[in-house]
Amino acid sequence: MYYFTEEFEEKIRCFTAAAAMAAPWKPLLLNAIQTNSNLKHSSFFQLATIGSNGRPTNRTIVFRGFENVSDRIQINTDCRTSKVEEIKHCPFGEICWYFTDSWEQFRINGRVDIIDESDPDPLKLQQREKSWFASSLKSRLQYLGPSPGLPCISEETSSSHEYSLDPSSGPVSAFCLLVLDPDQVDYLNLKSNERISFTYKQDGDGNKRWTSKKINP
């Protein structure tokens, strides 16, 4: 007969809880990203939000990876864009991501967290800085331009205007990190004619767990 220490049993409980909480759709998404990695547009997806007028708004943005080892999706943006105000008004959004080679679609719904320079959480500010340095210098220079969406008032606002930035300097004030925390994922594979719905729920013990079910395409 084998006897386990309390420490070992606690590790087993933590491992079991982590396995239950793991997002079963994430391996599907990672595989789709890998399968379609030869296509530059596979790193782009659409993010839909709700405007202050109650109407949906949509735009194409760049996938910036997952937050650490979680299933939370990172998006870089300018805090002066309308999407930031829309998320403040209604903090929910949905991603629609279609991979043209493998014929797979992911619709990822969840709450969006805004991390700007005024965030009081030092860990979030650290994550914002990490995302800033992970982006290219050309991408960082975009945040030095005039406010997006406003009328052009001079020739200096054209894309040909040059800005300078110290590559070692931290995030500028306009830089903002959005983090979408998924709670619903709709997966569709048009090649296999398969569709799966994933939902994030709490069980009787208060633990959050993913459930899945196959549905008609």
pLDDT digit string (tens) for the chain, length 217 residues: 444 455 534 443 443 344 445 799 999 999 999 999 999 999 999 999 999 899 999 999 999 999 998 999 999 999 999 999 999 999 999 999 999 999 999 999 999 999 999 999 999 999 999 999 999 999 999 999 988 888 887 655 545 457 788 999 999 999 999 999 999 999 999 999 999 999 998 777 777 799 999 999 9
Domain membership flag for residue 24: yes
In the chain, which ranges are continuous DSSP H helix?
A: 6-21, 26-35, 82-89, 122-134, 137-141
Domain membership flag for residue 96: yes
Domain membership flag for residue 205: yes
Domain membership flag for residue 30: yes
Domain membership flag for residue 160: no
3-state helix, strand, coil in the chain (%, to 5): 30, 35, 40
Can you give the CATH number for the domain in which 20 is found? 2.30.110.10
**Cα–Cα distance, 38 to 59 (Å, whole number):** 23
Per-residue 3-state assignment (H helix, E strand, C coil) for 1-13: CCCCCHHHHHHHH
**Cα–Cα distance, 104 to 84 (Å, whole number):** 28
Say how many domains are in the chain: 1
- Residue 208's pLDDT is 76
Domain that holds residue 68: 6-145+170-214
**Cα–Cα distance, 182 to 24 (Å, whole number):** 12
Give pTM, 2 decimals.
0.84
3-class secondary structure, 114: strand
